[in-house]
Structure 1
Amino acid sequence: MDVVTLGESMVLFTPDTEGPLRYVSGFHKTVGGAESNLAIALTRLGHQTGWISRLGDDEFGLFVRNFIRGEGVDTSNVSFDEEAPTAVFFKEKLTGGDPKIYYYRKLSAASRLSPDDLDEDYLKQASYLHVTGITPALSKTCKQTVLEAIRMAKANGLKVVFDPNLRLKLWSEQEAAKTLMEIAAVSDIVLPGIDEGELMTGYKEEKQIAAALLDNGSKLVVIKLGAEGAYYATSSESDYVKGYKVDRIIDTVGAGDGFAAGFLSGQLRGWSLANSVKLGNRIGAYALTVAGDVEGYPYLHQVDKEQRKKEILR
């Protein structure tokens, strides 16, 4: 196993037409969730991944499990809850802007995740544990689960990758900043967006954000800068990596998870930090070109063909 991740995935309803949801009569049903997005993207790039979660013991829960399992992700550590439902969320398409997101996830099955849902023998098979800032915002037991998973990972030599993935609809800025910095302090790699970094550290400039997170305990910080690419820093090196131009952006959801997957794919292959970030930028750019959370993620042969022309894959 290369990467194990944990968190909530939901049924995603995407409208067939643009405009306010009150006027929409048709939807396309699929699956969305930051952690399973990453797992699926990595699987398409040729890696073995596992996803830990809880789903409602309902038709939506079966749909989510089957969809993610069908993408090649190991779901053997997903449990079904008879007392809580699978969460759902809706996108609202607006002309010329990012979609609005409406979540219906309160008291969902995944919000009942607890440390008892973790199997240390399963976790220690992996090279990386991936967590996000979404899961600890769902409930106290979810936060406890994330921290316990990190403890288990550290005890078994896994590297911990943390994507803050800020969701202010779930908690206050003050609580979010405190908890995200707490998790970042025990994570080897932190992957914030520029706005997330500002909330966490109080700094607006990427170099200051990275320095603050390194001082906080992280060993590597990669800051996503949108169309400009990314900035990475360790205690001994730092640099900017340019982004990829996307002529027509269809949907921004899932791009950050794609970036994280591309970056981790490069690291799993033993690439340099710069080339890993380049691949992260590329996978994130793919995600922008297709509607949906995971539909735009490429398979390795697609990236390989394009990247070799630019002498990035080596």
Structure 2
Amino acid sequence: MPILVCGSLAFDTIMTFEGRFAEQILPSQLHILNVSFLVPALRREYGGCAGNIAYGLRQLGAHAVPLATLGNDGQEYLARMQALGVDTAHVNSAAESYTAQAMIMTDRDNNQITAFHPGAMSMAHENPVPTRKDLTVAIISPDGRDAMLTHAKQLHAAGVPFVFDPGQGLPMFNGEELKQFIELATWITVNDYEGKMLSDRTGLSFQDIAARVRGLIVTLAEHGCEVWEGGQKTVVPGVKATEVVDPTGCGDAFRAALLHGLEQGWSLARCADLGNRMGAAKISTRGGQNYTAPSL
């Protein structure tokens, strides 16, 4: 059944810095920060959370339906999604904007610095949740601020269960707005850093948050993830990557597995286990959308 993926479509410019950021940035001189990083490796990939998640879902054989907005330079991206079998019926185009652009630099310790131009993503709220009866599950992933707020309300009103995945968009919202997302969502997924911010801004512990939704997942990178249900925590062990090549997009690979499992009616722990394997498969490959999903 179709899975609605609300989020961004972006072009990712991915750069590799062969040193360590910590060795180039002097804490005592942050007030006059002026640094330059030599990046011998650079490539351009198809990215954005909706694009990455939809790609992962197609790798698993699922029916992915992105709800997103491209810019006037997005025809190449649209053609790629269609060639992959992604349902693009609800991908809009903003004629006067560029497609969102992310510039991502990774150091030798897999720390990342990212610059992001939202472009057409800023108008994603003008693309409403479709009124179709066959949607079984959805996700609110990082997107334009207004789009995330609007689509969450529309999904809740339509009775479509959805995952709230604020990701790097979490700082855009205050405590009351985040509480509203929690009240509307069916499940929530964050990494450990985002989870701490979500807890701090709302004043709610993980137990409190889990009591308000069907499930909360807190990912812990190579250490796996915590699955909170009914105020109780289960730790799902991580999967060791065969080779750490590039962490870009591994969180979206996890989300794709989560959505696939939820659509199949799996337990949250089983969904998280596949997510850990998908994330490990992604981190072992190079590029934004070029990994092979593990067997189910």
TM-score category of the 2 structures, normalised to the smaller one: 0.7 to 0.9
2:23 aligns with none
**Quick one: structure 1 residues 287 and 177, their matched pair in 2 at CA, closer, same or farther if it must change by over 3 Å?**
farther
Counterparts in 2 of 1:26 and 1:220: CA distance versus 1, 3 Å: closer
CA contact (8 A) 2:210 2:231 kept: no
Instruction: Give the 3 Å change call, closer, same or farther, for CA 26–228 of structure 1 in structure 2.
Output: closer
Q: Are 2:220 and 2:226, in contact at CA under 8 Å, matched by a contact in 1? A: yes
TM-score normalized by the length of structure 1? 0.79
CA change 1:16–1:229 in 2 (3 A) is closer
Match of 1:292 among 270, 287, 292: 287
Amino acid at match of 1:6: C
Q: 1:22 Cα deviation (Å)? A: 6.6
Shift of the 21–290 alpha-carbon distance from structure 1 to 2, 3 Å rule, reads farther
- 8 Å contact from structure 1 (residues 153, 160) kept in 2: no
Of 134, 137, 143, which residue of structure 2 is paired with 1:128? 137
Q: Residues 53-72 of structure 1 correspond to what in structure 2 (within 5 A)? A: 53-58=68-73, 61-72=74-85
Shift of 1:66: 1.9
Counterpart residue number, 2:123: 112
- In structure 1, the residue matched to 2:185 is 187
Contact 1:230 1:243 in 2 (8 A): yes
Mapped to 2, the partners of 1:151 and 1:271 lie a distance apart of: 22
Aligned mates of 1:237, 1:201 — CA distance in 2: 16
1:15-34 matches, within 5 Å, as 15=15, 18=18, 23-24=38-39, 27-34=42-49
Q: Output the aligned Cα RMSD.
A: 2.6
Where does structure 1 lack aligned partners over 5 or more consecutive residues?
305-312
**SS of corresponding position for 2:246:** coil
Between the aligned partners of 1:16 and 1:229, the Cα distance in structure 2 is 25
Q: Which amino acid aligns with 2:234?
A: D
Q: 1:131 to 1:251 in 2, by over 3 A?
A: same
Contact 1:258-1:280 at 8 Å conserved across structures: yes
CA gap of 1:142–1:121, structure 2 versus 1, over 3 A, is closer
- Select 2:249's aligned residue among 246, 251, 254: 254
Paired residues for 1:140-289 under 5 Å:
141-154=146-159, 158-167=160-169, 171=172, 175-202=173-200, 209-215=205-211, 217-235=212-230, 238-289=233-284
Question: When the two structures are aligned, how many residues end up with a matched partner?
Answer: 279
Pair 1:74 & 2:87 matched: yes
Structure 1 residues 274 and 17: alpha-carbon distance in aligned structure 2, compared to 1, 3 A threshold:
closer
Structure 2 CA distance for partners of 1:65 and 1:235, relative to 1, 3 Å: same
* Match of residue 24 from structure 2: none
Determine if contact 1:35/1:131 at 8 Å carries over to the other structure. no
| Structure 1 moving runs of 4+ over 4 Å | 16-26
Greater RCO (Cα-Cα under 8 Å, separation 6 or more): 2
Q: Which residue of 2 aligns with 1:11?
A: 11
Give the Cα–Cα distance (whole angstroms) in 1 for the partners of residues 183 and 167 of structure 2: 16
- Give the match for residue 42 of structure 1: 57
Return the alpha-carbon distance in structure 2 between the equivalents of residues 231 and 181 of structure 1: 21
Aligned equivalents of 1:228, 1:53: Cα separation in 2: 32
